[in-house]
Amino acid sequence: MIYSEFIMDYSKLKKFVGKIENATKVEEGKNLSCGDEVTLYLLLDGNRIVDAKFEGHGCTISQASTNVMIEQIIGKTKEEALELLRNAENMILGKEFNEKLLGPILNFYDVKNYPMRVKCFLLPWKTLEMALK
């Protein structure tokens, strides 16, 4: 089952929920097939992500994935965040990836066996990708 304690806990995290009023970047992402939506707020200092928050609704997987992603990218440079993104995508699509880099994101490893939930996991990451482009 993909509903591990880790994922259940992270799905309920409230720490990263909210707006950043002076955000450098605001990006909306959505999952067409289920109506899940996320608005990602990024505060950049030069090349570095110094804060991030989100609003929106979604399933356990997308909520947990968003929280873990935000936790991981805060403090990283754009390039580092994109590197993380590439590895997270590769993991979920069953391709090769760097385990060490992903850290707690590895808790989503099993989701790759549920193709219909892959989109839920990817929702925040795809939104991040658009935000950093």
Q: How far is the CB of 80 from other proteins (least distance, A)?
A: 28
Tokens of 31: 């999952």
116 binds other proteins (CB under 8 A): yes
Q: Among 124, 59, 119, 123, which residue's Cα sits nearest to residue 93? A: 119
Residues 6 or more apart whose CB falls under 8 angstroms from that of 35 comprise none
Task: Give the span between the Cα atoms of 65 and 74, in whole angstroms.
Answer: 14
124 binds other proteins (CB under 8 A): no
DSSP state of 18: S
Place of tokens 């994101």: 105
38 binds other proteins (CB under 8 A): no
Q: How far is the CB of 49 from other proteins (least distance, A)?
A: 27
Phi, psi (rounded to 5 degrees) for 101:
-60, -40
Give whichever of 75 and 115 is closer to other proteins, judged by the CB atom: 115
Site for other proteins in 42-101 (CB under 8 A): 57-61
13 binds other proteins (CB under 8 A): no
The binding site for other proteins (CB under 8 A) comprises 1-3, 30, 32-37, 57-61, 114-117, 120
